[in-house]
Structure 1
Amino acid sequence: MSIETGILVLGANGQLGMEFRDASLQHSGFDWHFHSRSTLPIEDITGISAYCRQHQISYLINCAAYTAVDKAEQEKEQAMLINAEMPGKLAGICREQGMQLVHFSTDYVFDGSAGHPYKESDPTHPINAYGESKHKGEELALNHDPKTMIIRTSWLYSRYGQNFVKTMLRLMQEKDELRIVSDQQGSPTHAADLAHAVCRIISKNMELTGGIYHFANKGITTWYHFAEAIRQEAGYACRITPIPSSDYPTPAKRPHYSVLDTQKIRDQFRLEIPYWKDSLTACIKMILKP
């Protein structure tokens, strides 16, 4: 792969963006550019367009997102701006300049009523404002540039940023008991696995077929069993009690089932995706190492 291949990562200080920083060290045959909100915000479409032209960017990886699921219920306009309107404009830039946009979406575009892992072609029906904004972002990005690669993922965590794993590790040291929802099923996904998968796809110099793909770690669990696995890996004594979602009301509704079928991305790009517990073990070791 030529060193001239420029890759711009937006939202580079978030958990996924930080994992791309780490992954870039193993994929050094690219001209990597990392920008956070402080240096190149997603709203600065003119600035992003000029930057891409100046630095001959070939791939634009958008990790910038509004991710506060509950807060989005009160900040719908801001969620729509960041998660929908701006990705659409990024896709427009990419189409104009012949770049490839890689954009990330969520399992929350589904309502949770399916009894099987969701395929990319399954009907969407978001049940919260965050899911609505991400779904609209998918539509706008593909409308502006059908070559856009959209990767839906689920229950994302990392050693970086704020996420369920890091919150649980903190609370388990502060409390004797935690009450965790046990009737929502999904697949935890290590952001490092997602970042490395995208890098491998690009490194193979494959033609990135536009459209929607699903990526999540293998296996299915609940938030309760996820928390139990975190406790066991960390060796903490905190007691974890399973509760129904009705005992923990939140401003935003969550789907009770949001498992993603990843066969399409595995087959098309010949990817091996790790089991969620294996990736969790690796992540917690990094977080807790002296």
Structure 2
Amino acid sequence: MSGGPPLTVLLTGAGGQLGQELVARCPEGVRLIATGRAELDLADAQACRQLVLERRPDWVLNAGAYTAVDRAESEPELAQAVNGAAPAALAAALADTGGRLLHLSTDFVFDGHQGTPYGTGQPRSPLGVYGATKAAGEEAVLASPLAAEGRAQVLRTSWVYGPVGRNFCLTMLRLHGEKEEIGVVADQVGCPTSTPTLAAACWRLIACAEAAAAGAGEPLPPVLHWSDAGAASWYDFAVAIGELGQELGLLQRQARVKPITTTDYPTPARRPSYSLLDCTASRAALDLEPLHWRAALRQVLGRLGG
């Protein structure tokens, strides 16, 4: 992003796994205001509104969220404050200041019952508190005056992991090194999405929206989907982590990965059994080629060895 004055982007969740990647990949021509928990409590809607009114960014990139899927079942008020009320407050403040919003959401807004990839316009039907609060955040953003003016985008993604933070990939890599056998759920299907590819999509979305606002491109749809290419179960993902981890020298050996069912591994929150996102239209709108999830995994694991 170049030409003209710098674009000011206020990033929430800068300390998270995606936030760190967004900071690292911040394009030239962007003045980034990176906020983590110390700078902005997303559970405080008034603080969210006040920060936007004070800093008046061109964009808010809302990558912060309450993502503890199982703990959300016992902390619904906190999950709703962060995932539902905060994006509503950000959208309302931006409607006053003239800014724009990119709000990150999740495949968990769907129940997974249909067995085919979910399009951007399909009805939400979350199974648990986490999905319900993320759905509430989407609804608030899309119902806001900001969205009515074409200044808000919701970007759904799935199964996010990266080289930092707490995520399935790093947990499995550790378990491969510690255990002889790991039981991993094989009857939940979606697509792993790496933080490097997701961060690139976020910055591309902002660039495309800016170009459209300047009359140099088509306006983006209000809801977009982005995940890496392909499909996998958690079992497939765990096997690939072991294979590539050993190939890249991160593991001396792989553990045996035993496929188990969802009922074998009960959790407080129900998960969708099939949450693949149809990203076809979004990839075309962003003019961005996807990377297959296994290739993206190789890149992430390669960074751990570097």
TM value normalised by structure 2: 0.90
Deviations 1:123-163 (A, max 9, x none): 22111111001001101111223132101100000112110
Counterpart residue identity of residue 251, structure 1: P
Superposed CA deviations along residues 210-247 of structure 1, whole A, max 9, x for unmatched, are 52111100000100010000000111321111011111
Identical aligned residues as a percent = 37
Residue 228 of structure 2 aligns with an amino acid whose one-letter code is: N
Q: What residue is the counterpart of 1:274 in the other structure? A: 291
Q: How far 1:206 moved relative to its partner?
A: 2.8
Q: Contact 2:10–2:34 at 8 Å: present in 1 too? A: yes
Alpha-carbon distance in structure 1 between the residues aligned to 2:43 and 2:204 = 29
Once the two structures are superposed, the pairs formed by residues 1-80 of structure 1 within 5 Å of their partners are 1=2, 2-24=4-26, 27-80=27-80
Cα separation, partners in 2 of 1:125 and 1:52, compared to 1, 3 Å: closer
What is residue 222 of structure 2 aligned with on the other side?
211
Count of equivalent residues: 287
Unaligned runs of 5+ in 1: none
Correspondence for 1:127: 127
Cα 1:51/1:253, change in 2 over 3 Å: closer
Q: 1:49 Cα shift? A: 4.3
Structure 1 residues 167-178: aligned runs within 5 Å: 167-178=171-182
Measured at CA, do residues 113 and 200 of structure 1 come closer, stay the same or move farther in structure 2, by a change above 3 Å? same
Instruction: Report 1:79-158 matches (<5 A).
Output: 79-144=79-144, 145-146=146-147, 147-158=151-162
Measured on the aligned residues, the alpha-carbon RMSD in Å equals: 1.5
| Residues 49/77 of structure 1: CA separation in 2 closer, same or farther (3 Å cut) | closer
Q: Distance in 1 between matches of 2:163 and 2:258?
A: 25
Contact (CA 8 Å) 2:45, 2:85: kept in 1 or not?
no
* Structure 1 position 44, deviation (Å): 4.6
Instruction: Report the AA paired with residue 170 of structure 2.
Output: K
Matches within 5 A, 1:244-263: 244-263=261-280
Mark the CA change 1:243 to 1:41 in structure 2 (over 3 Å): closer, same or farther.
Answer: same
The answer on whether the counterparts of 1:91 and 1:142 sit within 8 Å (CA) in structure 2 is no
Q: Does 1:231 align with 2:242?
A: yes
Aligned to 1:180: 184
After TM superposition, the score normalised by the length of structure 1 is 0.94
> Higher mean Cα deviation, 196-205 or 9-18?
196-205
Q: Aligned residue for 1:197?
A: 201
Cα deviation, residue 56, structure 1: 4.2
Corresponding residue number in structure 1 for 2:250: none
